[in-house]
Structure 1
Amino acid sequence: MNPARSPARVEDVHALAAGMPHVTAVEGPKGNTVYQVGGKSFVFFRTPRPDARDPETGERYTDVIMFWVESEEDKDALVRDPSTPFFTTPHFDGHLSVLLRAAHLERISRDELAEIVQDAWLSRASQRRRERWLAGRA
C-alpha cells in the first residue's frame, strides 16, 4: 500500500507539522505540543476542555487536535461534510480552526492530513514565507 494513502496517524501529524518550513514546536503549559510558524500556532494538541466531551459519558476528550484554516468557508466545508471527522464547538464560533480527535485520524489518509497541515501552515505563515513555499512547489 502507498504510505501516503494509508490512514493518518498521530505520528503523521507531528511529522508533517514539524516538516513545514520555519516551524517551532513548543510545549504548552500542560505538556501539549503546539506547532508554530513565526510565533503563530497552526497545529495545536489540546488539553481536555469542557467544550469537547463524549456525548454518552460526559468525559472530556483527551485527544483533540486543532488545525487553523484560511477562512470561515474552509471551516464550514470541513465541518459540514459528513465524510470528514472534523468538528467544532460553540467555543470556537468565529475562530478560524477545526478540531479532530486523534482517535478518528484513520478516517482520513496521510495525503489528506498533509493537505490539512499545509493549509493550516499557509493560513498562519507570513505572506513572504507563503509565497516562497508555494513557489518552491510549482
Structure 2
Amino acid sequence: MRDDGLWHPRLLHLIASLGHGDLLVVADAGLPVPPGVETVDLLWQRGEPRFLPVLAAVLGELVVEQATVAHEVTDPLLLAGFARQFTALGADRVERVPHERLKDLTRHARVVVRTGEATPYANAVLRAGVPF
C-alpha cells in the first residue's frame, strides 16, 4: 500500500502509462466523454469529489508540460485554484481556449477522470511531459 498520493489503482496505472504528449483530462460531472476514451468515474454524488483536490492529486503524480482550460471560467474559486495549482508550469504553459475547443481536445485524450464537480467549466486538459 502507498503511504501518500493517489490510491486509486486504475488511475495510477493510467497515469504511469502515459507517454510524452499524451492527454489526461480532469473533468466536472457534465463534460461529455467521447466514445472510445477511457473514463475513470470518481463521482458518487453531486459535488463529490471536488475538482480541485482531484486535480491536485493527479498533478502530484504526473509531469505536465501544458494545461488547457476554458476561457469561459468565471468562478473566482476555480480561477484561484488554477492559478495556485498551475504555478509550477508558468503562465506560458497554461492555455485558455473556448470550451468547444476544450471538448474537441478530449477526443484525443487517453483518459478522462470525472469528478462530481458541478461548477461550470471545471475541466483541465493536461499534456504529459517528461522529467528531464
For the pair shown, the structure with the greater C-alpha radius of gyration is 1
**TM superposition score normalised by structure 2:** 0.25
User: Greater relative contact order: 1 or 2 (C-alpha under 8 angstroms, separation 6 or more)?
Assistant: 2
**TM superposition score normalised by structure 1:** 0.25
